[in-house]
Amino acid sequence: MKIGIDKIGFFTSDLYVDMRELAQQRQEDPAKYLIGIGQKKMAVIRPTQDVVTLAANAVDQILSEADRQKLGLVIFGTESGVDNSKSTAAYLAGLLKLPEKLQVVEVKQACYGATAGLDFAQGYLCLHPEKKVLVIGADIARYGLRTPGEPTQGGGAVAMLVTTNPRIIAFEPNSAVAMRDANDFWRPLGESEARVAGKFSNNLYLDLLQEVWQEYQKTAGLQLIDFTAFIFHLPYTKLGLKGLRSLTSGNDLAINSQLFKQFEAARSYNSQVGNLYTGSLYLSFLSLLQNSPKLQAGQRIGFYSYGSGAQAEFFSGLLQPKFKEQIARNDFKQILTGRRKISVADYESLYQQQVIQTTEHKLRTTEDLAKYVFAGTHESQRTY
């Protein structure tokens, strides 16, 4: 039985800051951000958006009435949750008025949460092949202002409808996983900015990539030549480039040049949005599908998922005959080109406002033209 992604939706803020301007304000050479880090623009999230609304705006693009009727499970991968008990999936189901004969759950393991969701969805669909599962990866990536992590912020949501007989990609049965109990990146309870041991996190990402890739090749009996493209979790796009270099070193140059071309397509959207944490790998997948004209049905894509703390997985999927039609349904390029550039000073002001507030407050939502917005907190309850 084939199981995989049938539809993908994506949403991010309508505001961004230009990385050249941010570098100038931080007295850095712009080439460090544009080439050294590999980021051109960074999404700036309004205080009237949280992961629930980002996800709702992404799901809204893909979910038909027929999908709603068959929905059995919603798995919300995030590390930017809005409540210690109630899941973001429950908020989302309420906001979208999903049918109530439904299971809803939030999954957390840093940037790995949506990948865990896809794995769990496959198990669920083996038991309930007639159902559909919604898997979300939505986050707001926040480091401190003027810290080394600052140019690697961003935010947004990717929503995937996972089904049997999927029209975009069918996952293959083999995957390889590795974990470490590591403090490479973490966010203590009550804090709204991540803490990070930057170089250590980069090294662990690359070490675990090698570990799961070697293991995957052994168990799946496949090697580099069997893949059309590799996509990576992209906290910033240069790290994925380093990952691809480490997979391809010592291999045939012609194959490598194809893989590097595909990587350029796969990092295009991420370089304009920044880190989405859980959604990052899947935004890169979307970017590959919409920016690489030569892809064909039947080709194999390799996925490297990494979440700090740390969990890694390498898995693969085969593009399905209708993938081009499915991807052409939504114009994601337009979401990115239709955004408005704001100044570094305005970004800093919005950054200060984008914190989880539990006390009574009402937000002015008129400036945010998104369909779903966060309106503030009333009697300790979030209102949308």
**Annotated catalytic sites, by residue?**
79, 111, 233
Nearer to ligand HMG, 155 or 235 (CB): 235
Question: Is 29 among the annotated ligand-binding positions?
Answer: yes
Residue in the block written with tokens 């979440």: 307
* Pair of tokens at residue 216: 């995957």
Nearer to ligand HMG, 248 or 308 (CB): 308
How far apart (Å, rounded) are the C-alpha atoms in residues 52 and 54?
6
CB atoms within 10 A of CB 304: 26
Question: Shortest Cβ distance from residue 100 to ligand HMG (Å)?
Answer: 32
Question: Shortest Cβ distance from residue 152 to ligand HMG (Å)?
Answer: 4
- Which of 93, 37, 31, 1 shows the shortest CA–CA distance to 238? 37
Nearer to ligand HMG, 94 or 198 (CB): 198
Question: Is 202 among the annotated ligand-binding positions?
Answer: no
* Pair of tokens at residue 311: 């969990």
Nearer to ligand HMG, 157 or 295 (CB): 157
Nearer to ligand HMG, 188 or 293 (CB): 188
Interface residues with ligand HMG (CB under 6 A)?
29, 31-32, 35-37, 79, 110-111, 148-149, 152, 184-185, 196, 198-199, 201-202, 205, 233, 235-236, 239, 275, 277, 306-308
Question: Shortest Cβ distance from residue 99 to ligand HMG (Å)?
Answer: 32
How far apart (Å, rounded) are the C-alpha atoms in residues 274 and 139?
11
In the complex, residue closest to ligand HMG by CB: 36
Question: Shortest Cβ distance from residue 235 to ligand HMG (Å)?
Answer: 3
Cβ(231)–Cβ(332) under 8 Å? no
Question: Is 131 among the annotated ligand-binding positions?
Answer: no
Question: Shortest Cβ distance from residue 141 to ligand HMG (Å)?
Answer: 7
Q: Which residues are annotated as a binding site?
A: 29, 143, 242, 275
Q: Which residues are annotated as a binding site for (3S)-3-hydroxy-3-methylglutaryl-CoA?
A: 29, 143, 242, 275
